[in-house]
Amino acid sequence: ACKAFNDWVVGEVPNAHPGRFIPLGIIPFFDVDESVKEIARLAAMGCRSISIPETPYGVGEGFPDFKSGYWDPIFKACVDNNIVLSLHIGGGINLVKRPEGFNIDDMLMLTPLISTIAATDIMLSGAFQKFPDLKVAMSEGGVGWVAPWLDRLERHIVNQSWTGASFLPTGMTPTDVWRSNFLACYITEPSGLNNRDHLGIDTIAWECDYPHSDSTWPNSPEILKAELDRARCTDEEIDKITFGNAARFFDWDPFAHIPREQATVGALRARASDVDISETSKTEYRRRYELAQS
């Protein structure tokens, strides 16, 4: 089933629309040997990333955590094949205990906390000592949590050295590892942009989250531009945040199939004049949600 999915998502869809997608595959993570084989097969197909549970022990019956050694062959295969490991938001939501009968707003608000847990898990696991070139994308997790998280990690390695934990590559701080090995993305998050110097401008990527209800579509460019202007981002920073960082991190040339002058907002909108950009009302979303719950 994983192979069939990958043949479609990594093979057929991108091949039908060259330059539009950065292919991301899935692996049978319940079988390490087969996962390693599938990573090599995916890389040969042009895949740039794979997704695994962000908190494996929080999924279903639970799988070993990142420091267990179980994932090491998968991490090594990613490094050997220049594949980014994508840890997508929300997979471990059950780790955040909520009262009985909690509503969907709780989940929507608290899912970024799982990215904090996932990033902590892999940072403290020793994975970057073993595999210093491992690249991790905190997918859809936001960036506002990163600065205080790094602050606490920096304090931890000094104040809590009595634990004897050793999890960082020699000579590197948590912030060094973040800037070298991580990419995070945001939809609208002024706090993240305001902390861009602390995080490192090369670690931030913008997303519009289409077609989820969190999306800024179809007014994404206007909303993004206003936020970048408020943060006083330079043209160089804007290029990095909007496409450059993602292109570099996933080793992907965004202009291999379409010239840059044809990839501007205005040019792309002109080509998509037949696209229906009408929006579903919040009332209709609510009706559908209540229907699904009944």
Q: Mean pLDDT of residues grouped by 10 in the chain (294 residues)?
A: 96 89 94 98 96 90 92 98 94 83 82 91 96 96 94 91 82 96 94 94 95 89 96 97 97 93 94 88 87 89
pLDDT in the model for residue 221: 96
Neighbour tally for 187: CB within 10 Å: 20
Looking at residue 261, the DSSP 8-state letter turns out to be G
Domains with residue ranges and CATH for the chain:
2-293 (3.20.20.140)
Q: Are 144 and 189 in contact (CB under 8 A)?
A: yes
Q: Are 22 and 42 in contact (CB under 8 A)?
A: no
What values do phi and psi take at 63, rounded to 5? -120, 165
Extended beta strands in the chain, E state: 24-26, 49-52, 84-88, 136-139, 182-186, 204-206
pLDDT in the model for residue 151: 96
How far, in whole angstroms, is CA 243 from its chain's centroid? 14
CA distance 230 to 263: 24
CA distance 243 to 263: 11
End-to-end CA distance of the chain: 31
List b or e across 2-28, with b for residues whose CB sees 16 or more CB atoms inside 10 angstroms.
bbeebeebbbeebeeeeeeebbbbbbe
- Helices 146-159 and 104-124 pack at an angle, to 10 degrees, of 40
CA distance 242 to 205: 6
Give the three-state DSSP class for 270.
helix
pLDDT in the model for residue 54: 94
pLDDT in the model for residue 112: 83
pLDDT in the model for residue 225: 96
Q: Are 173 and 128 in contact (CB under 8 A)?
A: no
CA distance 26 to 84: 12
CA distance 265 to 240: 16
CA distance 187 to 208: 5
CA distance 241 to 225: 11
